Amino acid sequence: VQLVESGGGLVQAGGSLRLSCTASGSGFTFADYAVGWFRQAPGKEREGVSAINNYDGRQYYADSVKGRFTMSSDNAKKTMYLQMNSLKPEDTAVYYCAADHPPFTVQPVGVMLAPARYDNWGQGTQVTVSS
């Protein structure tokens, strides 16, 4: 499966952006996978932002984005979204979407937001928040 992100850009603090992640590949549907958004700032490790386990519908968010970011998906369009509101300069990073086979048991948030559990990645889209 190929994943392609879009929607990044430059925004002022307090503003909003919506990122999109579109999948290509026959037979692939987000509804059958665990999917997530991740980000990597310069000089920092890649970190998990949010994830959905579409096996049981549970959603997971990093504490730093709770209440500000929301994941959603449109399976017919093979696209998932990350709505980012009340953006802060510390949200500046390259944002990646990822997908992998879902776990069939409830997982801790730390597991679902761990980049290492995902094998399929997009190329990333830059988000820059100015102060």
Residue 26 reports pLDDT greater than 80: no
pLDDT tens-digit series, residues 97-130 = 999 998 888 899 999 999 999 999 999 999 999 9
Q: Tell me which residue has tokens 């944002």.
A: 95
pLDDT tens-digit series, residues 68-91 = 999 998 888 889 999 999 999 999
Question: 116 Cβ partners below 8 Å, 6+ apart?
Answer: none
Give me the mean pLDDT over the 65-69 stretch: 98
**Cα separation, 60 vs 70, whole angstroms:** 10
Residue 27 reports pLDDT greater than 80: no
pLDDT at 7: 97
Helix, strand, coil percentages (3-state) for the chain, rounded to 5, are: 10, 50, 40
